[in-house]
Amino acid sequence: MNDKVEGFVLSQSDYKEADVLMQVMTREYGIISLVGKAAKKLSSKNHFLPMCVYEFIIDYKEGKTIFSVHGYKLLRKYFDDDNIAMMTFRNILAELVLKNRDIDCYDELLFVFDRLEEGNRYLLGSMFVSYLAKRFGVSPEVDGCVICGNTSVVSVSNRDGGFLCHDHLGGNETLSVERLKKFRMIVKATFDNYDVLKQFDYDSRDFDLILSFFLDNSDLKLKSYELYKALNI
Q: What is the three-class DSSP state of 87?
A: helix
Average pLDDT over the chain, rounded to whole?
93
Residue 63: Cβ-neighbour burial (10 angstroms; 0-12, 13-18, 19+): exposed
Residue 151: Cβ-neighbour burial (10 angstroms; 0-12, 13-18, 19+): exposed
The β-bridge partners of 77 are 52
Phi-psi region of 200 (alpha: psi -120 to 50; beta: other; left: phi over 0): beta
Residue predicted with more confidence, 139 or 41: 139
Average pLDDT of 208-214?
A: 97
Give the pLDDT score at 180: 98
Sketch the domain layout of the chain as residue ranges: 3-77, 84-231
Give the pLDDT score at 201: 96
Q: Which residues contact 232 (CB under 8 A, 6 or more apart)?
A: none
Give the pLDDT score at 44: 67
Residue 159: Cβ-neighbour burial (10 angstroms; 0-12, 13-18, 19+): exposed
Average pLDDT of 16-37?
A: 92
Residue 40 pLDDT exceeds 80:
no
Using the Cα atoms of residue 101, residue 102, residue 104 and residue 108 in order, give the sign of their dihedral: negative
Residue 41 pLDDT exceeds 70:
yes
Q: What is the dihedral of CA 233, 54, 198, 140, to 10 degrees?
A: -80
Is residue 48 within 8 A of residue 42, CB to CB? The reply is no
Average pLDDT of 205-218?
A: 96
pLDDT bin (cut points 50, 70, 90) of residue 76 is very high
Give the pLDDT score at 16: 83
Instruction: Report, at the CATH architecture level, how domain 3-77 is classified.
Output: Beta Barrel (2.40)
Give the ranges where the chain is alpha helix by DSSP (H): 84-99, 106-115, 121-136, 177-188, 194-197, 204-218, 223-231
Quote the percentage of the chain above a pLDDT of 90.
77
Residue 70 CA to residue 48 CA, distance in Å, equals 13
The β-bridge partners of 157 are 162
Give the pLDDT score at 43: 59
pLDDT bin (cut points 50, 70, 90) of residue 230 is confident
Q: Which of 39-48, 210-219, 222-231 has the lowest mean pLDDT?
A: 39-48
Give the pLDDT score at 63: 86
pLDDT bin (cut points 50, 70, 90) of residue 85 is confident
Residue predicted with more confidence, 73 or 231: 73
Residue 90, CA distances (Å) to 169, 175, 188, 201 in order: 34, 27, 23, 20
Is residue 93 within 8 A of residue 125, CB to CB? The reply is yes
- Angle value at C-alpha 185, between 180 and 186, nearest 5 degrees: 100
Average pLDDT of 100-119?
A: 94
Residue predicted with more confidence, 27 or 180: 180
Over residues 151-210, the pLDDT tens digits come to: 999 999 999 999 999 999 999 999 999 999 999 999 999 999 999 999 999 999 999 999
Range of 16-20, 70-74, 164-168 with top mean pLDDT: 164-168
